């Protein structure tokens, strides 16, 4: 194949060795000056590899369209318009993005992301030492399934496990994962693309895509370790640089990349207007003011053509309208939940009374206030839970109280949340949240209290603050670890102090309750939930006469039959249970005429 000049991209050439830093920058400024030759002559391993014209690479989530290999802008536009349903194609390295965009302005848009590049000519392998996790290649069906779940939970389009497994030996695509050393759980993933193997790149480039980190992972530095691993991988292959794309307003991630040596380069990308990309091109009216719990419902409603009116975005109020039917909602609480049902859930004493009368297992309980009676209750049960009779988001709740003075302090703290405080016998087990919609179980997740992992350098207070910032960033500000009396009590009971430096790799549980709003994490167990637990949860919802509810139980095993009901929540956070179809089932419930047969919930 003879050398063929095509539309040049904004890339630095590397002829016969690594370019100097200033020379590379000058080349970037001269957009379109590089000529892609027909063979990769500099790489002995790939000498004679032909440059692929009109190159695309199927990545499972869509195609990477290497725009600088297209000699005709019209053909590039046509290629983007051939995007398959449910996919997300990306055209990158465009010389004339404005020209291609003008050819299909109703269908294409300029991606509001920046491109950052790490040059390898002055790169030193990042000596990142993961603590509590390891980074490795994806190698099994279990790994591929975990990658699929993680990307889905981050609202990204994942490649199917079958697609990934078919390409484990691919030289163009490489899949890497971060694995928790203790549990074996996959807590991060990233995909690398080798441009030489993808299209015969004479400039020996590479790129990184689909970086995702489990927001509930306690270990610090997972994302940085994954980026460093991919960079080391391609530097060892003799590539000249690695590119990545990041949203223009993701300031925290941009700071991380710049700290690692990435430089912003004038590279642009085009995408097709579709439901997946809608938040990127609809402009300022894209409901960003809503919190994640309202936003997930609004997005699903808009996808179905249901009208949305924001009533009070800050508080999560919105109205959904279709035809002559209009329903006012506050997140997952709608007008279809009546005031009486809501009041049953709001008062934990009434919740317990009704569930007990229905024959469901509940803890012993009494109203706090009389000191002698409180001490007698503690003596009878050995350990108690102190909680406000009314309240939400775990405020004022103290768990596993075994000392009378601690109980008095906890009662006083709970009293600042509600004028009535209750004591419950402290049942043992794992905290299980079950979402019931239209009286059917839709999702279930184990909730675990907030934990930190020591690094041998920072004190416990600093580690809590760092973990809290990560949890807040991952949940839109909804989950934070409070540095309050309860956190200090939990740390002290473990024999530590807030100003103490935790040894590297040591994990410390800093809260007793697993509520998400106090830094707790959720781990999906929907498929493991036993038929018995499904039945009792649906019975509980019918007993309380509430069609949409989050039920909290303590269980020894979600696949078993033992349980104790703790409380019911009339406004559960549906976004916490992705990728389970909580928003879909909620909109099904509100507007059953929009249900598609393939999406319908199967009968139990």
- Render pLDDT for 83-135 as a digit per residue (tens, 0 to 9): 998 899 999 999 899 999 999 998 999 999 999 999 998 887 666 677 889 99
Which DSSP string do the residues of 446-486 spell out, in sequence order?
EEE--EEE--SSSBHHHHHHHHHHHHHHHTTT------SHH
For residues 34 and 13, is the Cβ–Cβ distance under 8 A? yes
Alpha carbon distance 191, 64 (integer Å): 12
Q: Residues 552-564: what's their mean pLDDT?
A: 92
User: Does 28 have pLDDT greater than 50?
Assistant: no
Distances (CA, A) of 475 to 158, 212, 274, 292, 463: 20, 14, 25, 7, 18
- Whether the pLDDT of residue 433 is over 50: the answer is yes
Percentage of the chain beyond pLDDT 70 is 87
469-501 pLDDT, tens digit per residue, is: 877 776 667 778 888 888 888 888 888 989 988
pLDDT value for 392: 66
Residues 222 and 320 in one domain: no
Q: Across the chain, what does the average pLDDT equal?
A: 84
Confidence of residue 5 (pLDDT cuts 50, 70, 90): very low
Query: What's residue 399's pLDDT?
Result: 79
Note the pLDDT tens digit of each residue in 243-262.
999 998 888 889 989 999 99
356 and 473 co-located in one domain:
no
Mean pLDDT for 11-24 is 36
- CATH number of the domain residue 375 falls in: 3.30.1490.20
Q: Which of 118, 189, 199, 101 is nearest to 153 (CA)?
A: 189
H, E, C per residue of 277-296? CHHHHCCCCCCCCCCHHHHH
DSSP state of 601: P
Band (7; pLDDT cuts 50, 70, 90)? very low
Q: What tokens does 10 get?
A: 């904004």
The answer to whether residues 399 and 529 belong to one domain is no
Residue 598: which CATH number? 3.30.470.20
- How far apart are alpha carbons 5 and 8 in whole angstroms? 8
Give the tokens for residue 37.
């030759």
Is the domain of 500 the same as that of 531?
no
More confident residue, 59 or 505: 59
Judge whether residue 6 has pLDDT over 50: no
Q: Which of 511, 530, 545 is the last residue of a domain?
A: 511
Are 80 and 157 part of one and the same domain?
yes
More confident residue, 427 or 34: 427
Residues 336, 319: Cα–Cα separation, whole Å: 13
Beta strands in 268-383 (DSSP E): 269-272, 307-312, 317-322, 325-330, 333-334, 365-367
Between 494 and 443, residue with greater pLDDT = 443
Is it the case that residue 595 has pLDDT exceeding 90?
A: no
Number of domains the chain is built from: 4
Other beta carbons within 10 Å of 216: 24
More confident residue, 128 or 187: 187
330 lies in the same domain as 189:
no
* pLDDT band, residue 286 (cuts 50/70/90): low
Residue 154: band (very low, low, confident or very high) from pLDDT cuts 50, 70, 90: confident
> How many C-beta atoms lie closer than 10 Å to residue 52's C-beta?
15
Residues 524 and 500 both lie in one domain: no
Query: What integer pLDDT is reported at residue 398 of this predicted model?
Result: 82
3-state DSSP call for residue 332?
A: coil
Q: Which domain holds residue 506?
A: 450-511
Distances in whole angstroms, Cα of residue 83 to Cα of each of 55, 64, 195: 14, 11, 21
pLDDT(312) > 50:
yes
Any idea what DSSP says for residue 512?
S
Q: Quick one: pLDDT at residue 417?
A: 83
Select from 286, 313, 337 the last residue of a domain: 286
254 with 398, same domain? no
- Half-sphere exposure (CA, 13 Å, Cβ side) for 472? 11
Q: Where is pLDDT greater, at 284 or 554?
A: 554
Closest CA to 425 of 369, 366, 375, 354: 366
Distance CA 598, CA 592 (A): 13
pLDDT of residue 597: 53
Do 348 and 368 sit in the same domain of this protein?
no
176 Cβ neighbours under 8 A, 6+ residues apart: 135, 136, 137, 138, 189, 190, 191, 192, 226, 229, 230, 233
490 with 585, same domain?
no
- Does residue 282 register a pLDDT over 80? no
**pLDDT tens readout for residues 122-153:** 887 666 677 889 999 999 999 999 999 999 88
More confident residue, 600 or 111: 111
Query: Can you say how many angstroms the Cα of residue 499 is from the centroid of all Cα atoms in its chain?
Result: 31
- Among 511, 529, 560, identify where a domain stops: 511
The answer on 122 and 165 residing in a single domain is: yes
> For residue 32, what is the domain's CATH number?
3.40.630.30
Confidence of residue 450 (pLDDT cuts 50, 70, 90): confident
pLDDT in tens, 188-247: 999 999 999 999 999 999 999 999 998 878 788 899 999 999 999 999 999 999 999 999
57-87 tens-digit pLDDT: 999 999 999 999 999 999 999 999 999 988 9
Q: What is the pLDDT of residue 41?
A: 37
Domain identity same for 99 and 221:
yes
How is residue 161 written in tokens? 């496990």
Q: Are 573 and 435 in contact (CB under 8 A)?
A: no
CA-to-CA distance for 567 and 386, rounded, in angstroms?
13
């Amino acid at each position: 194949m003879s050398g063929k000049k095509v539309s040049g991209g904004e890339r630095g050439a590397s002829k016969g060795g690594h370019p100097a830093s200033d020379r590379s920058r000058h080349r970037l400024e001269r957009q379109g000056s590089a000529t892609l030759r027909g063979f990769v002559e500099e790489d002995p391993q790939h000498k004679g590899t032909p440059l692929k014209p009109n190159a695309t690479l199927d990545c499972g989530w869509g195609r990477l369209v290497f725009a600088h290999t297209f000699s005709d802008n019209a053909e590039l536009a046509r290629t983007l318009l051939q995007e398959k349903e449910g996919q997300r194609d990306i055209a990158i390295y465009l010389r004339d993005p404005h020209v291609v965009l003008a050819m299909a302005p109703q269908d294409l848009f300029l991606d509001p992301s920046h491109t950052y590049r790490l040059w390898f000519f002055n790169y030193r392998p990042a000596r990142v030492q993961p603590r509590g996790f390891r980074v490795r290649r994806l190698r099994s069906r279990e790994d591929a399934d975990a990658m699929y779940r993680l990307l889905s939970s981050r609202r990204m389009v994942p490649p199917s496990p079958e697609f990934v497994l078919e390409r484990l030996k691919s030289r163009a695509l490489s899949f890497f994962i971060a694995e928790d050393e203790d549990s074996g759980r996959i807590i991060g993933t990233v995909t690398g693309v080798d441009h030489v193997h993808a299209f015969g790149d004479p400039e020996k480039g590479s790129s990184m895509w689909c970086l995702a980190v489990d927001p509930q992972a306690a270990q610090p530095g997972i994302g940085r370790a994954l980026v460093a691993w991919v960079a080391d991988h391609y530097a060892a292959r003799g590539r000249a640089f690695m590119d990545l794309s990041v949203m223009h307003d993701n300031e925290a991630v941009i700071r991380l990349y710049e700290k690692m040596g990435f430089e912003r380069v004038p590279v642009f990308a085009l995408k097709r207007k579709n439901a997946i990309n809608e938040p990127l091109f609809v402009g300022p009216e894209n409901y960003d003011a809503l919190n994640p719990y309202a936003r997930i419902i609004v997005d699903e409603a808009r996808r179905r053509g249901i009208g949305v009116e924001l009533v009070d975005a800050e508080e999560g109020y919105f109205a959904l309208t279709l035809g002559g039917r209009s329903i006012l909602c506050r997140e997952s609480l709608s007008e279809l939940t009546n005031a009486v049902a809501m009041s049953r859930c709001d008062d934990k004493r009434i919740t317990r009374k009704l569930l007990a009368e229905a024959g469901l297992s509940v803890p012993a309980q009494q109203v706090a206030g009389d000191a002698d009676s409180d001490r007698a209750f503690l003596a009878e049960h050995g350990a108690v839970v102190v909680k406000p009779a009314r309240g939400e988001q775990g405020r004022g709740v103290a768990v596993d109280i075994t000392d009378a003075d601690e109980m008095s302090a906890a009662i006083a703290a709970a009293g600042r949340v509600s004028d009535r405080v209750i004591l419950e016998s402290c049942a043992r087990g794992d905290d299980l949240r079950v979402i019931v919609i239209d009286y059917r179980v839709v999702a279930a997740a184990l909730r675990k209290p907030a934990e930190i992992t020591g690094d041998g350098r920072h004190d416990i207070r600093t580690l809590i603050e760092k973990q809290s910032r990560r949890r807040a960033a991952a949940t839109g500000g909804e989950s934070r670890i409070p540095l309050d009396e309860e956190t200090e009590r939990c740390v002290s009971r473990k024999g530590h102090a807030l100003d103490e430096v935790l040894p590297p790799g040591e994990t410390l549980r800093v809260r007793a309750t697993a509520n998400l709003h106090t830094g707790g994490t959720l781990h999906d167990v929907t498929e493991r939930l036993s038929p018995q637990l499904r039945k009792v949860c649906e019975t509980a919802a019918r007993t309380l006469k509430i069609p949409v509810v989050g039920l909290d139980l303590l269980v020894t095993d979600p696949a078993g039959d033992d349980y104790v009901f703790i409380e019911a929540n009339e406004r559960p956070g549906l976004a916490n249970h992705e990728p389970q179809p909580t928003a879909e089932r909620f909109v099904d419930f509100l507007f059953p005429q929009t249900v598609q047969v393939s999406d319908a919930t199967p009968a139990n």
